[in-house]
């Protein structure tokens, strides 16, 4: 079983001190150690953005895809070996702008992967431009007169598209985030965790103090299997009105469980019956 020390890479973590990404990194590495995930059973895929650097800071089999494309890469990984725990790290720009189509269709297909969405409501890596999660009126170098668009609500969107596990946590609560990541991975189906991840350099609105003041825990009165109740909760946002916890969780057939060729055995364990050398040689 891996320890936290085993997960360290030689690369120094270079996120800005105080960035919410540190909480996500701690939460994930704690989850890896607690759950016994390692290179034999788990793969990490990330997109492009500050979040994507996580592949440099966690020593696990990983792949950093093109901007907006971590979900299709993760989808390919899962299709080839459905026994793997597959984790997608993505930012709000990466996931909801460049990768919006993949997010919707990943949810629709209910593939058994876990999407950890670093939501800082800006494009941090490229110095703070307005993102699909920036609030209306938000001023940045890309919208100096104020953002005219309504932000995308990732949990409402994923719920409408067919995701079967929806959670939200604040990056400053790494313990809750660890528990959420473990539960999302245990869930069989497309799981989305929206992590409220303050970008302390560029987003002066959604700060650590803002989230500490305005989040509240969903309690036992919330029925996680009630789609309409979940939808209503995903639409709540504002002063003292940002719910965190599990919004929705239901069991539905996963994509992999419905494909006859892989429903009982991962693709990599099925012998190739045809000689493919001729085909491969075409591409050499």
Residues that bind ligand SF4 (CB under 6 A): 15-16, 19, 21, 50, 120, 124, 199-202
Buried b (16+ CB within 10 A) or exposed e, 114-143: bbbbbbbbbbbbeebbbbbbbbeebebebb
Q: Which is nearer to ligand SF4, 95 or 113 (CB)?
A: 95
Cα distance between residue 250 and residue 35, in whole Å: 22
Whichever of 123 and 247 has its CB closer to ligand SF4, that residue is 123
Name the minimum Å distance from CB 201 to ligand SF4. Answer: 4
Q: Nearest approach, Cβ of 18 to ligand SF4 (angstroms)?
A: 7
- Distance between CA 202 and CA 240 in Å, rounded? 23
Q: How far is the CB of 91 from ligand SF4 (least distance, A)?
A: 8
Report residue 53 CA to chain centroid gap: 14
Closest to ligand SF4 by CB, 29 or 203? 203
Q: Whole-number minimum distance, CB 115 to ligand SF4, in Å?
A: 18
CB of 50 to ligand SF4, least distance (A): 3
Closer residue to ligand SF4 in complex, CB, 15/211 = 15
Are 116 and 47 within 8 A, CB to CB?
no
CB of 11 to ligand SF4, least distance (A): 14
Quick one: 160 or 200, whose CB is closer to ligand SF4? 200
Q: Which is nearer to ligand SF4, 25 or 233 (CB)?
A: 25
Q: Residue 202 or 211: which CB sits closer to ligand SF4?
A: 202
Closest approach, Cβ 199 to ligand SF4, in A, equals 3
Contact in structure between 195 and 119 (CB atoms under 8 Å): yes
Closest CA to 147 of 129, 159, 160: 129
């Amino acid at each position: 079983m891996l320890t936290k020390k085993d997960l360290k890479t030689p690369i120094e973590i270079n996120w800005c001190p105080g960035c919410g990404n540190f909480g996500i990194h701690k939460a994930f590495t704690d989850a890896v150690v607690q759950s016994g995930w390692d290179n034999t059973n788990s793969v990490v895929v990330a997109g492009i953005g500050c979040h994507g650097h996580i592949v440099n800071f966690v020593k696990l089999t990983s792949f950093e895809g093109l901007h907006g494309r971590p979900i299709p890469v993760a989808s390919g990984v899962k299709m080839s070996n459905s026994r793997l725990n597959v984790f997608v790290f993505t930012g709000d720009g990466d996931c909801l702008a460049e990768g919006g189509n993949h997010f919707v269709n990943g949810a629709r297909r209910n593939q058994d992967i876990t999407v950890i969405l670093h939501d800082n409501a800006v494009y941090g890596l490229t110095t703070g431009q307005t993102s699909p999660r920036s609030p209306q009126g938000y001023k940045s170098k890309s919208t100096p007169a104020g953002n005219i668009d309504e932000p995308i609500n990732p949990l409402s969107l994923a719920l409408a598209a067919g995701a079967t596990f929806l959670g939200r946590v604040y990056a400053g609560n790494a313990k809750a985030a660890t528990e959420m990541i473990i539960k999302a991975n245990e869930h069989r189906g497309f799981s989305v965790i929206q992590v409220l991840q303050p970008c302390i350099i560029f987003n002066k609105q959604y700060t650590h103090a803002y989230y500490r003041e305005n989040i509240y825990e969903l309690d036992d009165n919330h029925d996680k299997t009630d789609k309409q109740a979940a939808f209503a909760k995903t639409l709540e946002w504002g002063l003292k009105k940002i719910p965190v916890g599990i919004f929705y969780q239901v069991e539905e057939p996963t994509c992999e469980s419905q494909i006859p060729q892989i429903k009982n055995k991962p693709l990599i364990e099925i012998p190739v019956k045809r000689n493919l050398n001729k085909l491969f040689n075409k591409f050499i």
